[in-house]
Structure 1
């Protein structure tokens, strides 16, 4: 049985103390508030996939974009590895779409964002976008038993932030 790899992006768009989230309806899957993102098209680069997804879902063109980390889910019973490459964009141009395709868009303070209804995995990942360095979250998941079999959760701090 061959292994299937699925590659996605997520890009948190930040404007001073606010972030842009979209409220995905149930019919879209992953209902609740979430950052823009989606599938990486072959053969585009992962960062270009993130920039494209933000533009398609919000109308904004992100400028200053920084890689923040990887979250992946592996399901051995399906031979599936689902990878999400996460970015933070702190500048952009353009106007928000009036009728966004993935759900209503909302600028919300970072402080209030976690009070909104959202998926548990997104709530867990949310603060990591704003911490120094990068993160790596990896979960081996058994969908049939609805159980995590193994996990790796790491943060890598930049050397400039390490005190001696």
Structure 2
């Protein structure tokens, strides 16, 4: 697909924004936060946030979990990349996704990003959440890693292109 077609103009400069998301799993449950409208992306979501320069991406994920939940991640698995590009603004928004299966510490009494709640994995799709999180959620538990890229034109409010790949599915050790 030619993504330049239909755009009014392309930004000469590109801004990269790098974020993380870390699903915390304990057996058949995951820890989600219910973000209020005032913080943006309302509804249930996994912990995560902006990677500070020059910290590594995985260390950004571990830090965000600690800041938002109080947990210290002990084991973390890279699950994939989800990115959104807006060519008119020259914006590339990249979210590196992880699954934490071992952690220690106590949940915060007053978490800064929203109420924390342990939820059975099978019940998560019934919760209110952003469409992009609903699409990404099962990929945290799928075999292998994923890569999703969406080119979205804010002016026309249309997805111009998308790439969705799964790596390592069905590969035997």
* CA distance, structure 2, for counterparts of residue 57 and residue 131 of structure 1: 25
Q: Name the residue aligned to 2:54.
A: 43
* CA distance, structure 2, for counterparts of residue 60 and residue 48 of structure 1: 14
Name the TM-score, length of structure 2 as normaliser: 0.92
Q: Name the residue aligned to 2:70.
A: 59
Q: Name the residue aligned to 2:80.
A: 69
Q: Name the residue aligned to 2:134.
A: 123
* CA distance, structure 2, for counterparts of residue 14 and residue 63 of structure 1: 12
* CA distance, structure 1, for counterparts of residue 158 and residue 140 of structure 2: 26
Secondary structure of 1:63's match? strand
Higher CA-based Rg:
2
Q: Name the residue aligned to 2:36.
A: 25
Q: 2:123 aligns with which of 100, 108, 112?
A: 112
Secondary structure of 2:126's match? coil
Secondary structure of 1:160's match? coil
* CA distance, structure 1, for counterparts of residue 155 and residue 109 of structure 2: 40
Q: Name the residue aligned to 1:156.
A: 167
Quote the offset at 1:13 in angstroms.
0.1
- Segments of 4+ moved more than 4 angstroms: none
* CA distance, structure 2, for counterparts of residue 2 and residue 76 of structure 1: 10
Q: Name the residue aligned to 2:100.
A: 89
| Residues 105-155 of structure 1: per-residue CA shift (max 9 Å, x gap) | 000000001110000000000000001100000000001111000000010
Q: Aligned residues, how many? A: 161
* CA distance, structure 2, for counterparts of residue 96 and residue 137 of structure 1: 31
Q: RMSD value over aligned CA atoms?
A: 0.8
Secondary structure of 1:114's match? helix
Quote the offset at 1:2 in angstroms.
1.4
Name the TM-score, length of structure 1 as normaliser: 0.97
Q: Which runs of 5+ in 1 are unaligned?
A: none
